[in-house]
Amino acid sequence: MKTITKVFVVAALVFIFASIMLSLSYAEQQTQQMKPAEKMKPVPPKLAADLKIDNIYGDSYCACKSALVQVNAILMVGIYVSVSNMRDVLTPATISVTFFNYRTGQLMTVKENVTLNPSERRVCAVVVEPVLARKSTGIKAEIQPSGNVVDSNPANNVMTVYECNPHP
């Protein structure tokens, strides 16, 4: 009888010790997961901008326009993108121009970083060399704000043209 009592006492002590160790371990994990308020960085508010693609142009003229219609091509001597910042927020942004380049035989994307002043409209020379592009794919321009800026109207950030527009 004494042996059974000793076994129960030892088992109870082991159970109590294990319970204490588990609760201490859990409390330590919870403490490590919680960060002090002074270490947490405040999240800065996002600035609201409204960027817009106004138009996509070729340089001064559209070469061989009538002959290239038969071979599904657009020849533009440079690609210029007219963009606008519709709000009173200084806005860093990236302009991307995508087209199928017949010279390389693949889809090509060219990016240009710009900073638009409040309420500014600007024409940016994104591609400065002649481009022979696939007409059915078109030439697509897109502008995206960067940094701590979000666009309030992303629907006007993209434009695709299927014809050569001469630069005004």
pLDDT in tens, 155-167: 999 999 988 777 6
Q: How confident is the model at residue 10 (pLDDT cuts 50, 70, 90)?
A: low
The residue assigned the tokens 């003229």 is 61
Please give the helix or strand (H or E) that residue 62 lies within, else none.
none
pLDDT of 16 higher than 80:
no
Give which of 46, 143, 126, 139 is closest to 86, Cα–Cα.
143
The pLDDT value recorded for residue 163 is 83
pLDDT of 21 higher than 70:
no
Higher local confidence (pLDDT), 26 or 54: 54
The pLDDT value recorded for residue 1 is 58
